[in-house]
Structures are given as C-alpha cells and as structure tokens.
Structure 1
C-alpha cells in the first residue's frame, strides 16, 4: 500500500462528499440498511475512538460503515448469514461486489491509496483451501475468483491493487451473541460498572448508532455537540475551524460525541476529562473524578449534596471571618493528608482486593465516613462545627478544585 502523508492527501470530508456525489444509483448515501446487527457493529467500531487512532465513524456512507482514522479510511461491508459458512465465491456475490464499487469510486477522487476495503462476515468462512487462502491473503485468489471480481465492474489493471487493499474478517459475533460481546467490551472499558450500568451505556450508544445508520434526527444531547464540530485537513476535530459537513452530520459518530454520552474511564487523564467539560458536558469536576474512580450513582449524589451543604457554611465563613481563607487552607491540608493516606492504603490493598482499587472512590468514601471522629479531629478550629459530613463535603470541594482525585496519585 502506498504511504501518503495526511497533509498531502485530499481533504477527508471533501473527498467523501465527492464520492457520495458519484454514487447516486440508489445504493449509497441515500439508501440505508436498517439492520440492528450492523448498528451494533457500528457501536463496536465507535468504541475504538477511545484508542486515539480512530477519529470518527460514518454509518451507511458508501459502505455500511466507514472508519476515518489519522492516516486513512476503512470502508466496511457487513454481511449476515442465518446458517452455514462462507465460500470465497459467495463472498464475491454478497459483499465484495459492493466493495468493488466503493473502490472504483474512491479511485476516481484519488482516495484509494489511503483506504482499505473490508468484508465483515457473521459466521465462519468455509474450510476449503481456496477459501482459507483467500481469507488469509486476498491476493492469493485463483483465476475463477479473480474473474468473478472483475465481473463486478473492476478494471483489470486495478485488480492487484484492489486485492492488496481487501480485508476479509469472518467469524464476527452472531446476532444472538453480539450483545454479550459488546457488553464484554464495555466491561473492559469500565471494569467497575455493574451489568445494569453497562446496559444503560450500551442502550445509549446503540440509539445514537441506529440514528446515524438511518440518518435520523439524533437525541438533542448529541445534536448539541454536532453543532460545534469542525475538522482540520487530516480529519481531526478542531475548534475554531470551519468545514461543511452537510449531509454527513447525521451519519457521523465522533470521539467527542462518544465522550459526551459516556462516563470517564479509569485510565482517562485529567486532560481527557477537561475535554469532556469543554465539549459541553454538564458533569462537574467532582462528578467526573468520582466516576473515573468507580463511584456509583448514590455515592456521587451524596457527595454532591454534602458539598452543597458545606458550601453554604464556607461562604458564611468567608464573609464573616477575616482569617477564613488561611484557616480553610490549614483545614484543607489536614483533610488532604488524611484522604490521600486513605487512598494509598486502598491502593496497597489491591493485591488482595483488586475490586476495591477499581472502585476506589467507593472505598475511600466508606472508609472516611466510617471514621467520623477522625474527620472531626481535622477541624481543630471548628470551621464546620466538627461535623464529619460537612468536612466530607469540603473534601468534595477540594476535589472540584483539582486537589483530590479519589484515588492514589
């Protein structure tokens, strides 16, 4: 495959729009296959945006799924099968014919050198040597198979290049099993989440992917984020740039939207979470940090309530006590020393209780609130009347100003 620098290639969105204009025979952007299995596969591809290379996913544009990454494009044709295996000849009849059309159209706008064309198959490939060899290396296709591919409309002088860019991925999760597969993948991203919580995330993602597949109106939360999206010449999303995304907007699943409608992951950096807030998310810094550290809904709700109760007392102190800022800082030092020691203790327990580390915010909360006298001891000047719940709320405030991460640093 020819390596092409991103900045010397045709601008991604403009290129895709040109190809869409070529493909006006009713088999492209204006026609949408509404198969749930395909939408679930789109969710799987969308989740790869977290890895950093995938920038966004387009549903039902040229192919069932188009994945745009930092250096090129992946055009994916998805096929289901009720029973039996896939022979190489059947692959040509069912999916490769469509990939040939996409390849030809991409070639017209010099997009093919940055693209792969992939056939994703529900179920296994056949055991015949010809099929096995073809799946492992499409360039090994024998003459009858090559003739079949050429009959789909591929120019003979393009055959070798097309086969080099062709990828066959069989044994995709079946319609009966794909939900379990996606939930398993969500569990790897959010290991602290319960099954019901993962199912809620999955439902949200699938709703967005289905809307993209059908070019249907998206939930208002997603539309809000789409309105702010712009792209640079490599396809990366950039603020302050303008780009005409037009008809593609409803078919687009971006990393920014993914981050906006999912909770933080355990390995998210503070920069990742700031990006969530900058993209218009409504979650507070405290909530995002606690979510990243595995806190459940009830724990976060309680922390927010106690922080709000504390804030009333803190503002009264600042208004009425000349030394309030100095005294509050001394209290902050004592509270943070205690909280960080607790976080380290929980981290060190990871060898014997790894689940505790994954849900460190839950463990820290339980540990601190189970020691009310220790919390009260931190408040030597009775700024919060030695009330352990208000002191816990003040720790929430310190987290909100980037001084406590709810896990060992």
Structure 2
C-alpha cells in the first residue's frame, strides 16, 4: 500500500515512494556518489546516511560508506539483507516528518545533476528469452529451416558480451564499421553498418559474489537479483549476419549497449511477478525451482519521438531466476556488478516487436515516422528512446528509468 511522502509530490507520480530507483549522480562540480530518485529530485543517499551513521547491517560496512562511492557495486556487495534494510530506511526518512529537516538539504533537482553509469559492469551476458523474438528472427535468418533451434526450449540461450562498452543512457552511439556480405556480394566488403538496429531489453543487476565452481539454484537466484533497468543492445545486423556462424554474436553487438541511469529494485516490483506463459517440454530439474516467475512490465520504443513498438515483458519464456541459474550451472562465478539482459522483448502482435529487424521484417516493410520519413534500419541522427512501466500497487504507474541514445556517423 502506498505511503504518503512529505515531499510536494503527486500521489500517482511514476517515481513516487513505491519506486525509489538507485543511480549514480554528481552535482555541479561535485564527485560521483549514489543517489535515489524521488519524483524529479535526487536524494544524496550517502550524505543523509552519514548523519549519525545510524544505518548499518550486522558487522559489515554501513550504508553511508557504500553510498559515498562512485558506483553501486559496494552497495550490491552488501547483499539482500542490506538492500531490504536500505529500502525500508529510505521509505521511513521520506515519509516521516521528523526526518524532513535533515533530509531536505540533500535533495537535488534532477535537472541540475549529471547522471552516470550506475554500476562498474563486472561481466555482461545477453540472453534470448522471448519465444516470439526468437521465432521471428529464426524465420527471417533461416526461412527454410525450423524457426527455433532444437535447444531453444531446453535452456536459456545467451552470449557473453563486452562489459567495457556498456554505456549510460544518453551516450551517443557511433555507427560501427566492419565486414558484411550479402548474397549478392561475391566477396565481403568493409565499411559502416547499413543495417543498424535496436533491441529493447530488460537488464538485471546482480549483487553478491560466488566462488568459481559453485552454482546458484533457481530458488537461490533472488538472493542475487538486486534490480532491473531498461537496456538497448544496439545491433549491426549486417555485420552480425556475416560473422555469427558458427560462434554467435561478436562485433555486430560489442560496439555499444545502453543501460538506463536508474536501477529499480526488484523489491519495488514484487507485485508485478506473474507466472510464466508455460514451458513445454518441462525444463531439466536444475531449471525448475519452486516458482520461476515473469514480470508484468510494459516497454515502449520511440524513434525521434514516434512510438514504434510496445513490447510486453510478461510473455517472456524464461524467468530471470532460470537465466541466472543457467549462467552459473557450469560453475561460473558471480561478481557484484554483473549484468545480464533478457534479450529482445517481443510480443505476439506486429506492434509489439522489440527490434527493427522484426518490425520491418528485415527491411521489407519499412515503418513510417510522424514526420513522414520511413525507416528500415536506423539512420545517422536518429534518437531511440525506450521507456517502461508497471502498474502501481494502488493505481497509476511505476516507471522504469528510460534508456536513450542518438546515432552518430561512422568515423
């Protein structure tokens, strides 16, 4: 149930007290530190926690120490109990008038601060968890074969991406160059990608390290799943198509992936958990768990201000807990700051497809923007913005922080 805050904030604000996403910000001339968004302001979490240093977890570091660092990694390392204590404390200080005098001086207007990548990305894995997306892509890339590969419904397929090229929302994206070869080309050619695409995804932020050789089960995964953030896995489809056989995505993906500046704690989305749409055949025992879940989230994709797609996350085939369990089943370790993404979110309807590859069916049916121009793939100067929301507990919407990027010409 929603609790009223002492801030002058509409009860149905999409970044209200039920949300409280974490990010990293810097005020003008100041150092980077952890912030929490409330309405259109950012709370300097470390500065408030340092007042009396009354917030601690067990014998570990206090929250003030973790929040006065330039990434969320130290906070992620504290683990689930600390995350819950922190959230309860933030709600208390933002709802109880007794804290107002001490807290209010540490609220910054969102427009007056700079936002940064919220985590130092330790490792990055991208999955392929939407059956609709996988079916569409398979139909486009392999029209004479089965759309889904034989392994697709037995395990969450993924690839290991490049952590160093994950960038914060708002970062400009330079068009990549590389090799490409169409069926009409006798030899591969080199140059800028001409089939630059988006992938509307949900990213999951991991906390709490594990040892190499250990495994995290489906039922243990929530102990490591801190929160979610909108994610755009930019894709050069022409480079990808030439390189991906037999080892999968490489340069067609690794040039850039964009992450929202705001990470919404999974605790804020507990009410959005839904049953999976159904898994047939039944996964192997290590992927079952007590209740692998989906999330009832809604994404919207806009190009230059024109909404071109509304993908629903609730139809995803694989649960985030199954993805994390599969990621570690071979003994691969986790580190705080690990990021894994869902893969493109697509729905059953044409207007719910989360990539231009699907929306235009590989360029055969271009989409039209509000200014009358058409797109098969992205042009230089295009700005792509992905937004998302969940239904609020008591009506209204709980927003996810947007992820946006503008395409620059190749160097």
TM-score in terms of structure 1 length: 0.24
TM-score in terms of structure 2 length: 0.23
Structure having greater relative contact order (Cα 8 Å, sep ≥ 6)? 2
Question: When you count strand as a share of all residues, which structure comes out higher?
Answer: 2
Larger Rg: 1
Question: When you count helix as a share of all residues, which structure comes out higher?
Answer: 1
